[in-house]
Amino acid sequence: MIERRPFAELGGADHGWLKAKHHFSFAGYHDPARMGWGSLRVWNDDEIAPKSGFPPHPHADMEIVTYVREGAITHQDSMGNTGRTEAGDVQVMSAGSGVRHSEYNLEDKTSLIFQIWIEPTTSGGAPSWGAKPFPKADRSGRFVTLASGLPGDDAALPIRAEARVMGATIKAGERITLDLDPARHAYLVAATGAVEIGGVRIAARDGAAITDLATLEIVGLEDAEVVLVDAP
């Protein structure tokens, strides 16, 4: 099953400094049919204006993955971590028993991010944070695991969930495949460009909820960058 979720039909909010689209229910947007996809709870498509951002706020018991598409995000938290994550890089925060953090766009241009929240396998534990570059050239024509709590994904940023976040870049006319467990939940978003999966066109910033599928075939209709979460 592949269900396309067009960008134009997503819930969202415009706060001036933040233009947000929500693939699942979040904050003031509530859709009982879209509370999450397996253990994937949040996928926000955020545009953050220059010299603005999220002031310090708390989180607990959530794995929060930030995928920077354009610009950069500067993170600071109550654990003493500070870091700047730029386009092509990924940061992960395991909120654990509780943490406060801020995320600001200190750049001179708008930053675009995906913020992905995955429910952890167990609650509590000490919070943690980390970031890592993932050059897009290394993802050309194939998926690279960016964050994972599954065995064997040692090169990825660790999360405390039986899930993985993956990224790939696909040229127009190129075809790649990905093996999936039909019992799990995959969710794909095209960060840029357009692709076709199972005969369904996924345009830039559209989402696709995928289940009951053993092999996912992705065809580049345009040069594209895609992000996929594989979750129980």
CATH number at residue 215: 2.60.120.10
Distance CA 18, CA 52 (A): 8
Structure tokens at 86: 């730029």
pLDDT of residue 197: 98
pLDDT of residue 175: 98
CA torsion 14-89-36-153 (nearest 10°) is 180
> What is the domain range of residue 70?
2-231
Distance CA 10, CA 20 (A): 10
- Nearest CA to 87 out of 1, 200, 169 is that of 169
Q: What is the largest CA-CA distance in the chain?
A: 47
pTM of the model: 0.97
Residues of the chain with pLDDT under 50: none
Q: What's the pLDDT tens digit per position in 39-92? A: 999 999 999 999 999 999 999 999 999 999 999 999 999 999 999 999 989 999
pLDDT of residue 15: 96
